[in-house]
Amino acid sequence: MISCDKAALLCDMAETYRIYDVYSFPARLIAIYAAGLRDNSRIKLKLSGVELDYTQIIQTAVYDKLNLLLWQNSGGRKSNRPISLLDKILRSFKRDDYTTFDTAEAFEAERKKIMKGGKS
């Protein structure tokens, strides 16, 4: 966990257990405490790859549905249909805007292709 995101683990340990110096405790004890962190702790969310915890997703979905029901009951017109907040949030977490490369050679080949006017 510490190799994944040291700051997140330290924040979670300080918040949950009031441990401000993890290096002053035995590694086995810190490992036990780290395993006992809540599922929506910073480090567990980071390790699972989830951007939002389930409670936040459900609350946002409920907000969207309530907003839609209120709009429909007020004689909703297409011109002012409410925008889904959950869609906006989840769309902002998409990471398809960039490309990664495993080697410098692959990067240079793609760079040359783009410089010649080709698309990736």
Q: What is the chain's pLDDT, residue by residue, as a tens digit (120 residues)?
A: 888 889 999 999 999 999 999 999 999 999 999 999 998 899 998 888 777 788 888 999 999 999 999 998 888 777 788 999 988 887 766 555 567 788 888 888 888 888 887 655
Q: What pLDDT, on the 0 to 100 scale, is given for residue 88?
A: 86
Q: What pLDDT, on the 0 to 100 scale, is given for residue 80?
A: 84
Helix count (H) and strand count (E) of the chain?
A: 6, 0
Which two three-digit tokens encode residue 105? 């050679």
The sign of the torsion formed by the CA atoms of 62, 68, 74, 79 equals positive
Q: What pLDDT, on the 0 to 100 scale, is given for residue 91?
A: 78
- SS3 at position 31: helix
